[in-house]
Chains A and B, each alone.
Chain A
Amino acid sequence: MTATTTTTSTGLLDARSPGGPIETRWERCKFDLKLVNPANKRKFTVIVVGTGLAGASAAASMAELGYEVEAFCYQDSPRRAHSIAAQGGINAAKNYQNDGDSVYRLFYDTVKGGDFRAREANVYRLAEISTAIIDQCVAQGVPFAREYGGTLANRSFGGAQVSRTFYARGQTGQQLLLGAYQALERQVAAGKVKMFPRTEMLDVVVEDGRARGIVVRDLVTGRVRRHAGHAVVLATGGYGNAFFLSTNAKGCNATAIWRAHRRGAMFANPCYTQIHPTCIPVSGDYQSKLTLMSESLRNDGRIWVPRRKGDTRRPGEIPEAERDYYLEARYPSFGNLVPRDVASRNAKQVCDDGRGVGPGGRGVYLDFADAIARLGRRAIEERYGNLFEMYERITGEDPYSAPMRIYPAVHYTMGGLWVDYHLMSTVPGLFVLGEANFSDHGANRLGASALMQGLADGYFVIPYTIGDYLVDHMGEKLSTDTAAFAAAESEVRQRIERLLGVRGKRTVDAFHRELGHLLWEDCGMARNDAGLRRALERIPALRQEFWEDVNVLGGGDELNQALEKAGRVADFFELGELMCRDALHRSESCGGHFREESQTEEGEAKRDDERFSYVAAWEWAGENRAQVLHQEPLTFEYVHPSQRSYK
């Protein structure tokens, strides 16, 4: 089988998506879910991997219900998950501002923003739950921004036409995560959650076709351990770090979901990656990560590049007439506030055109001179002071006196493990929440919707749906002393030994950098057939080289950061290949997936609903064999697919 042929099947995937009027689907589903008797809940053990917004809120909420929970994170504390870095805010259809928002409008905006590649029922549920999330977080003591009258403040975010975004300065993710973390720690103190920090999940154990536990490595002692549970919940985040350079934390990885994929969980829409337009550009080869600057900067900043190619004058020396405010010119009604994918792609185009600014020519200006002249420096300081400070700290340049330089960077992955309406993967008993699943954002996520989805899944979906699964497994004894556990553990050990045994010449980071560069070039902001085919040849070759020449020093029975990285990068190789395969097969453009072959005359993404109105779910077919494609058809009963236009 060559890299480019795909086997396709339809009809295997049952999304368990309820029919009927969309407003009552979740209500009816909840009513139909089987319940676990309160006295019986403590007889079930649920494993939760990952303690970000989705994982921490799920673990806390399930423990509150009475389940015994074991929670795992690779960080030294559950408070550090990368949800913490989300700056902008969280959407909720509260309509506190009386500006015409509603659950239906949030649903509509999300389906449309996702370029009609999400499941309607899921999105509606997300919008419906959004209001309860705000209530819950306020009750936990999350210090949301307030008006002088004491009510919650809102802002419009990411080009939304209504103000539905709740925020806590520029640290909304941090405050929401700390709220969930505190709820989690409360359950740890109550003895309902056993917390395992600095512990990495290295495999899922599937027995009789069901998820029965996990194999983990204690990152401090290197001990490999087995944990059994009646159900396993993965909330391990996205896979943006496959690109090496991204706005993700350094430790973010896809190992949990990838190992689950190899055990039978289908991987959906891996090619849907979101590139955030406002990040600080790369400054050199040593660069280890990219820093995002909140999208809110686009509210007042104007984006431009010089009209002339290779113009090396300083920005202040370039007269107005020789500047190209390309977003304002091309999208008169949305201007600098076009959606993320549009803004990113346009930045790439002008840079490809040789008009990029800064070292390496990969950057565009985000200029506040007009805003400062109009509103005064103080107003700008109040709105963006901390962001400007951060910019200056990193670049050493003062954004008050010269325009910022920004460039798009990988930020979020809409793809992930396929889940049904109950958030269960194709492996019964294996649930997937938050960014780790593929569910609600379609091909493009709207700003301030990631926090909403993570918390919706954790606080308000999984506590209901997991009971429906568990109730059928009442009384099942948990044991880690089974053939499946032994086999999984031995595979984990072998893999560790293999990584330690190579003792080659190149470091893990060197390989990761090369893989990332390759993915960025061929499977980044714009993709084409030739590039993807090239990548599909180069990635396996590089992966082979990795296994022959990687250099991981130290041992397996001690804290070994290089070993941790090596395991993650090995999985990124396989996942990267699948991303390219998915991108190649989807020869339409949609949302964050832009195929150069499929664009309108004006250069906008052009969907092909006839051929691609489905979720692409890939099934692992074994080592060195191309995954099998399954399709979950998407039907739109409420929001009718249309060409997005931001002119």
Chain B
Amino acid sequence: MSDHAIHLQLHVWRQSGPRASGRFVTYEARDISPEMSFLEMLDVVNERLTAKGEEPIAFDHDCREGICGTCGFVINGVAHGGQKGSTVCQLHMRHFRDGDELTLEPWRARAFPVVRDLMVDRSAFDRIIQAGGFVSVNTGSAPDGNALLVPKVDADVAMDAAQCIGCGACVAQCPNGAAQLFTAAKISHLAQLPQGQPERYQRAQAMVAQIETEAFGSCTNYGECEAVCPKGISIDFIAMLNRDFLKAAVRVEREARVAGGSG
């Protein structure tokens, strides 16, 4: 623990709206306590800007405990700032040194248009889930929770994938702007569990097709996504996505003779 206040120089991307053009503006962040979180440091900068009559820097954040997935921007080229397994809200100023110069940029991807300053629109992720990231089970139609046994290891692997917080760092850091890790996490989570089997291949196809529609890039197995993922989700899951997708592509779909139900 150190109580020496530090002084930083911030180059922050400012953009007033989705269609406006943006630019970098430099701010001095003086007397920053090392105990602050990065977002608390920005709070302080914003308080001071407001006092001077300048509009504060807009950034997304909510839970500030690393689980909601709302926060995230790029600090010196690294999504969430480079602390392993953490979001930017969990990054503390003790990791920076007096005099550091930091460049803050929003997630950069065509599928994530800038909303304002460091905020982007990640609704493309919601649409990928809409394409098939669910189990089609209506409320009330579930059997007893223990009716289907799930091997512990399957449940654990499913949980490894299901931890994804949907922050978008994977897309931001990927040199291709690909959404593979996010999509793979959901496909793998459901593919590990018996409940996910009935729609497994159709799901893989539909979600992959949605990636294309949203104009994400293509995965070339750089592994950058995994390195910045706050939940450390492994790119092994991307291989699972690929496998399910390819199986789906070459599978001969059975079709029911009678379409729909009548009577």
> Contacts A139-B195, A144-B155, A559-B115; is A396 near B149 (CB within 8 Å)?
no
B163: Cβ under 8 A from any A Cβ: yes
A138: Cβ under 8 A from any B Cβ: yes
Q: Choose among A79, A284, A291 the residue with the greatest number of B CB atoms under 10 Å from its CB.
A: A79
Chain A residue at minimal CB-CB distance from B146: A151
B111 to chain A: closest CB distance in Å?
Answer: 14
Chain A residue at minimal CB-CB distance from B47: A507
B228 to chain A: closest CB distance in Å?
Answer: 16
Instruction: Please name 15 pairs of A and B residues whose Cβ atoms are closer than 8 Å in the assembled complex, sorted by A.
Output: A84-B165, A96-B146, A135-B142, A138-B142, A141-B135, A147-B152, A150-B150, A150-B151, A174-B67, A185-B134, A189-B130, A393-B90, A394-B90, A558-B116, A562-B50
A553: Cβ under 8 A from any B Cβ: yes
B253: Cβ under 8 A from any A Cβ: no
**Which residues of B sit under 8 angstroms from A195, Cβ to Cβ?**
126
A564 to chain B: closest CB distance in Å?
Answer: 11
Give B176-195 interface residues, CB cut-off 8 Å to A.
Answer: 189-190, 192-193, 195
- Say whether A284 contacts B50, CB under 8 Å: no
B88 to chain A: closest CB distance in Å?
Answer: 12
From B68, B134, B135, B151, contact of A84 by CB (8 A): B68
From B62, B94, B139, B149, contact of A250 by CB (8 A): B62
> Contacts A96-B146, A148-B152, A174-B67; is A561 near B56 (CB within 8 Å)?
yes
* Among A56-64, A105-113, A266-274, the stretch in contact with B: A56-64
Task: Please report the C-alpha to C-alpha distance between residue A362 and residue B70 in the assembled complex, in whole angstroms.
Answer: 30
- Say whether B123 contacts A138, CB under 8 Å: no
- Say whether A250 contacts B61, CB under 8 Å: yes
Task: Please report the C-alpha to C-alpha distance between residue A636 and residue B122 in the assembled complex, in whole angstroms.
Answer: 50
B46 to chain A: closest CB distance in Å?
Answer: 8
A390: Cβ under 8 A from any B Cβ: yes
* Among B36-44, B215-223, B237-245, the stretch in contact with A: B36-44
Give A614-634 interface residues, CB cut-off 8 Å to B.
Answer: none
From A145, A147, A283, A463, contact of B139 by CB (8 A): A463
- Say whether A143 contacts B162, CB under 8 Å: yes
**Which residues of B sit under 8 angstroms from A559, Cβ to Cβ?**
17, 58, 115-116, 119
- Say whether B137 contacts A249, CB under 8 Å: no
Name B residues whose Cβ lies closer than 8 Å to a Cβ of A: 1, 16-18, 33, 35-37, 39-40, 43-44, 47, 50-51, 53-56, 58, 60-70, 83, 85-86, 90, 92, 94, 115-116, 119, 121-123, 125-126, 129-131, 133-146, 148-152, 155-156, 158-159, 162-163, 165-166, 189-190, 192-193, 195-196
A491: Cβ under 8 A from any B Cβ: no
> Contacts A75-B70, A85-B65, A559-B115; is A152 near B145 (CB within 8 Å)?
yes
* Among A175-183, A338-346, A431-439, A592-600, the stretch in contact with B: A175-183
A548: Cβ under 8 A from any B Cβ: no
Chain A residue at minimal CB-CB distance from B162: A143
- Say whether B152 contacts A80, CB under 8 Å: no
B150 to chain A: closest CB distance in Å?
Answer: 5
> Contacts A79-B126, A185-B129; is A249 near B62 (CB within 8 Å)?
yes
Chain B residue at minimal CB-CB distance from A189: B130
4 A-B pairs with the lowest CB-CB distances in the bound complex, closest first: A150-B149, A139-B142, A182-B134, A189-B130
B66 to chain A: closest CB distance in Å?
Answer: 7
- Say whether B145 contacts A138, CB under 8 Å: yes
B191 to chain A: closest CB distance in Å?
Answer: 10
- Say whether A85 contacts B139, CB under 8 Å: no
A554: Cβ under 8 A from any B Cβ: yes
> Contacts A79-B69, A135-B145, A136-B139; is A509 near B35 (CB within 8 Å)?
no
A286: Cβ under 8 A from any B Cβ: yes
B27 to chain A: closest CB distance in Å?
Answer: 15
**Which residues of A sit under 8 angstroms from B119, Cβ to Cβ?**
76, 559
Task: Please report the C-alpha to C-alpha distance between residue A82 and residue B133 in the assembled complex, in whole angstroms.
Answer: 21
Contact bitstring A145-160, B, C-beta under 8 A = 1, else 0: 1111111100000000
Task: Please report the C-alpha to C-alpha distance between residue A284 and residue B62 in the assembled complex, in whole angstroms.
Answer: 20
From A145, A284, A286, contact of B155 by CB (8 A): A145
A459 to chain B: closest CB distance in Å?
Answer: 5
Chain B residue at minimal CB-CB distance from A283: B35
Contact bitstring A179-222, B, C-beta under 8 A = 1, else 0: 00111011011000001010000000000000000000000100
**Which residues of B sit under 8 angstroms from A183, Cβ to Cβ?**
134, 137, 139
Contact bitstring A596-615, B, C-beta under 8 A = 1, else 0: 00000000000000000000
- Say whether A178 contacts B122, CB under 8 Å: no
Chain B residue at minimal CB-CB distance from A182: B134
> Contacts A75-B70, A76-B123; is A288 near B129 (CB within 8 Å)?
no
- Say whether B139 contacts A186, CB under 8 Å: no
Chain B residue at minimal CB-CB distance from A149: B149
A168: Cβ under 8 A from any B Cβ: yes
- Say whether B62 contacts A251, CB under 8 Å: yes
Chain A residue at minimal CB-CB distance from B1: A396
- Say whether A146 contacts B151, CB under 8 Å: yes
Task: Please report the C-alpha to C-alpha distance between residue A251 and residue B50 in the assembled complex, in whole angstroms.
Answer: 19
Task: Please report the C-alpha to C-alpha distance between residue A178 and residue B164 in the assembled complex, in whole angstroms.
Answer: 10
Task: Please report the C-alpha to C-alpha distance between residue A147 and residue B153 in the assembled complex, in whole angstroms.
Answer: 9
**Which residues of B sit under 8 angstroms from A175, Cβ to Cβ?**
159, 162
A547: Cβ under 8 A from any B Cβ: no
- Say whether A286 contacts B43, CB under 8 Å: yes
- Say whether B129 contacts A150, CB under 8 Å: no
- Say whether A178 contacts B162, CB under 8 Å: yes
A551: Cβ under 8 A from any B Cβ: yes
A563 to chain B: closest CB distance in Å?
Answer: 11
Chain A residue at minimal CB-CB distance from B190: A141
B128 to chain A: closest CB distance in Å?
Answer: 9
Contact bitstring A50-70, B, C-beta under 8 A = 1, else 0: 000000010011001000000
Task: Please report the C-alpha to C-alpha distance between residue A460 and residue B190 in the assembled complex, in whole angstroms.
Answer: 24
- Say whether B130 contacts A186, CB under 8 Å: yes
Task: Please report the C-alpha to C-alpha distance between residue A558 and residue B166 in the assembled complex, in whole angstroms.
Answer: 25
A287: Cβ under 8 A from any B Cβ: yes
A77-B123, A186-B130 are known; give 20 further A-B pairs, CB within 8 A: A60-B139, A61-B139, A75-B68, A77-B122, A79-B129, A80-B63, A135-B144, A140-B134, A146-B156, A147-B152, A151-B146, A168-B159, A250-B61, A284-B35, A390-B66, A393-B90, A397-B1, A509-B43, A553-B55, A561-B58
- Say whether A84 contacts B67, CB under 8 Å: yes
A134: Cβ under 8 A from any B Cβ: yes
Task: Please report the C-alpha to C-alpha distance between residue A145 and residue B131 in the assembled complex, in whole angstroms.
Answer: 27
- Say whether A286 contacts B63, CB under 8 Å: no
